[in-house]
Structure 1
Amino acid sequence: MGLFDMFKSDSGEKMTPHLAFATSLLYMMSADGEMDNEEIGHLLSVLGGQDDGRGTIGVGAQNQALLDSALKYRRKNSVETFLQEATPLLTDAQKMCMLVNLIDSSLADGQPEPEEQVLFGKFLTAFGISEDRFRPFFEVIVLKNDRSVFTNDHHPKNQPGYQVKLPS
Structure 2
Amino acid sequence: MFNMFKSQSSLDLTPRNCLVVSLLYCMGSDGELDPEELGHLMSVLGRNTTRQQLDALLRYARSTPPQQFLADAGPRLRPDQRLCIILNMIDSAMADGEAEPGEQRLIMEFAQSFGLSEADLNPYFRTLVAKNDRAVLDR
Smaller-chain TM-score bracket: 0.7 to 0.9
Residue 21 of structure 2 is aligned to residue 23 of structure 1: yes
Question: Unaligned regions of 5+ residues in structure 2, if any?
Answer: none
Matched residue, 2:87: 100
Alignment partner for residue 77 of structure 1, among 64, 68, 72?
64
CA separation of 1:34 and 1:89: change in aligned 2, threshold 3 A = same
Identity %: 42
Displacement of 1:36? 4.0
Note the 1:24-103 alignment, pairs <5 A: 24-48=22-46, 60-62=47-49, 64=51, 66-103=53-90
Alignment partner for residue 8 of structure 1, among 5, 12, 15?
5
Alignment partner for residue 128 of structure 1, among 94, 111, 115?
115
CA distance in 1, matches of 2:38, 2:17: 17
- The amino acid across from 1:39 in the alignment is E
Alpha-carbon displacement from aligned partner over 1:76-133 (angstroms, at most 9, x marks no partner): 1001111111100000000010011001110122211110001001101100101111
Q: How many residues in Structure 1 have an aligned counterpart in Structure 2?
A: 137
CA distance in 1, matches of 2:115, 2:61: 22
CA distance in 2, matches of 1:97, 1:69: 22
Larger radius of gyration: 1
If asked which structure has higher relative contact order (CA below 8 Å, sep 6+), I would say: 2
| Structure (1/2) with the larger helix percentage | 2
Displacement of 1:8? 3.4
Displacement of 1:42? 3.7
**Is the Cα–Cα contact under 8 Å of residues 19 and 69 in structure 1 kept in the other structure?**
no
CA separation of 1:9 and 1:112: change in aligned 2, threshold 3 A = farther
Moved over 6 A (4+): none
- The amino acid across from 1:15 in the alignment is L
CA distance in 1, matches of 2:133, 2:33: 21
